[in-house]
Amino acid sequence: MISPRYGGDPNDVPPPEQAPPPATSSDPPQASSFSTETTTILGAINYLNDDFRGFRVEVNDVFDRSSNEFNNLGSRMTSLEEQLVQLIALVTTPSQALS
């Protein structure tokens, strides 16, 4: 027995939907997919992308230089601390060192 879900009779198949007729040579040509406005917008996007890429490089360079200067500052502070310890040792009298 055929299920009523499928219409019951196998010969009850609906006709196919009509496809549009094929294009003929007398049809007007389609507009190009990229208009002047689209090309201009894409050009502006590429220009901005290049600008941001350059900006990113500059920011990274500044960050690297700052990081290097911070590391150098740390080594200079260590040297300064060592020099202060030496100065205190020179200035401190033996009686003060014992207290």
Per-residue pLDDT of the chain (99 residues; tens, 9 = 90+): 454 555 556 666 666 677 666 666 665 556 566 688 999 999 999 999 999 888 889 999 998 888 888 888 777 778 888 888 888 888 876 665 555
Residue 60 lies in a domain: yes
Total count of residues recorded for the chain = 99
* Three-class SS state of 43: helix
Give pLDDT, residue 10: 61
Domain of residue 67, residue span? 36-93
Residue 79 lies in a domain: yes
Residue 68 lies in a domain: yes
Residue 88 lies in a domain: yes
Residue 67 lies in a domain: yes
Give pLDDT, residue 41: 92
Tally of domains within the chain: 1
What's the pTM value of the predicted model, to 2 decimals?
0.35
Q: 2: Cβ–Cβ under 8 A, 6 or more apart, which residues?
A: 8, 9, 10
Q: 42: Cβ–Cβ under 8 A, 6 or more apart, which residues?
A: 34
Give pLDDT, residue 13: 62
Give pLDDT, residue 95: 61
Q: 41: Cβ–Cβ under 8 A, 6 or more apart, which residues?
A: none
Give pLDDT, residue 1: 46
Residue 16 lies in a domain: no
Q: What DSSP element (H or E) covers 46?
A: helix 36-91
Contact (Cβ atoms closer than 8 angstroms) between residue 5 and residue 13:
no
